[in-house]
Structure 1
């Protein structure tokens, strides 16, 4: 009798389970797996974001790293950003090296990368976490990113007084296998033209200090970055024609994307 009762109970449970919609079971399984996949992807995925601040000043953000490039404008200009992990400075001029802004920022945990001419101008009271001197041709790995110092200088006879070869740095920064070129103050020098595998290029163009729009176009068409960002384009007579820069680049090579950001808000 006890055996018959157990057999009947087992049969009822089997019938009840058969009534569960197999589609519903599959949907529940897929939903769980999909949610797990989304959570896993979102925690692993990091994207590079670029925030123009002004003229030559920008913030490159990747994951928890904020990289300040030529910080100017005081602490107010960087509201909404975390304190920098890394600071890049290209040259000694005030639109690149702003001591008052450096004093106003929290650099206690930052590594400041700069050429010797810049490091020599740091006052003793400037509180830095650490400074690293990179000169043309030097490189360093920090936080999993590669920083390479690239020459920047003038070519035109009338402009040689502005940027002597060997004093300042452009940079190629490699973040998550993406190579980002920051020209600093330069003309269309051979070292720029020889660059390879550049994903994003920030290229200056302002007279009398750097180069003409046409010179910038010529260099870009030679080293062929995937994307080019005109920046540092305010000169003594106003703004360079970045719309014409875009037109000329795309006439020469439609595959190069010209990205125009608002550097002069």
Structure 2
């Protein structure tokens, strides 16, 4: 009887001292390594996330573009100071991903159509930018430019005026985000673009050939193909690079893996 009591006490002591088991944290989604681009106010860090989403870190500020695909893809990154959303489609406006991110202090810059669809909890954080409007805030400049399909049609996936492409000025560097567009005149007419992010996915935007011709028209210093998953899989970004550099070797075409989870 005495032995039984001692054994029971020992087991109770062990149970109290044993560390509680914890559920391991979800592993962060894989992502491409970041790039750094010099500016007059320190480096601009470019972090590809997935599809049309990228995160910029610059001058103590963090900018999320089209947060999408789940909060795990942003693990380890600073909370956003600014969020840019280009369009109403779910691969750009993703309330579920927003809900999992620390966005409570972020300024959200969006076109009117996106503002109408954002959950009510974000309304106080929203600033609306229409095509052609510009906002200077937090030491950076954001200009909204058109993004749309050609030929223009009321039933096109992206109609003129609904969504925004953006041009950011960050420490003297002009950074263009195409959003969902074709090689529209407004894109071809861009000037002094240092870094461009250009979409290419059929049937929603443009094909590789269109994207290459559009880029050759406005001649950015650096171009990243992004948003290149379409109905038939991933676009041939190597062909894009080949076409661009065959005509203009000065354009730095940077191929990064925007879909690492698919590999």
Give the TM-score of the pair, scaled to structure 2: 0.81
Name the counterpart of 2:244: 249
Q: Secondary structure at the match of 2:164?
A: strand
* Residues 1:100 and 2:96 aligned together: yes
Kindly indicate whether the alpha-carbon contact (under 8 Å) linking 1:180 and 1:201 is maintained by their aligned counterparts in 2: yes
Kindly indicate whether the alpha-carbon contact (under 8 Å) linking 1:103 and 1:127 is maintained by their aligned counterparts in 2: no
Kindly indicate whether the alpha-carbon contact (under 8 Å) linking 1:109 and 1:129 is maintained by their aligned counterparts in 2: no
Name the counterpart of 2:167: 172
Kindly indicate whether the alpha-carbon contact (under 8 Å) linking 1:91 and 1:115 is maintained by their aligned counterparts in 2: yes
Q: Which one has a bigger Cα radius of gyration?
A: 1
Of 137, 142, 145 in structure 1, the residue corresponding to residue 140 of structure 2 is 145
Deviation at 1:262, TM superposition (A): 1.2
What's the CA shift string for 1:7-41, capped at 9, x where partnerless?
xxxxxxxxxxxxxxxxxxxxxxxxxxxxxxxxxxx
Of 103, 107, 110 in structure 2, the residue corresponding to residue 111 of structure 1 is 107
In structure 1, list runs of 5 or more residues that go unmatched: 1-43
* Residues 1:81 and 2:96 aligned together: no
Name the counterpart of 2:184: 189
Name the counterpart of 1:55: 51
Q: How does 1:19-30 map to 2 (within 5 A)?
A: none
Kindly indicate whether the alpha-carbon contact (under 8 Å) linking 2:145 and 2:186 is maintained by their aligned counterparts in 1: yes
What's the CA shift string for 1:213-256, capped at 9, x where partnerless?
11111111110000111000010001111000000000110111
Which contiguous aligned blocks of 4+ residues in structure 1 show a shift greater than 6 angstroms? none
Deviation at 1:45, TM superposition (A): 6.1
Name the counterpart of 1:69: 65
Give the TM-score of the pair, scaled to structure 1: 0.80
Higher helix share: 1
CA distance in 1, matches of 2:124, 2:47: 23
Q: How does 1:186-265 map to 2 (within 5 A)?
A: 186-265=181-260
In structure 2, list runs of 5 or more residues that go unmatched: 1-39
CA distance in 2, matches of 1:45, 1:182: 20
Q: How does 1:4-23 map to 2 (within 5 A)?
A: none
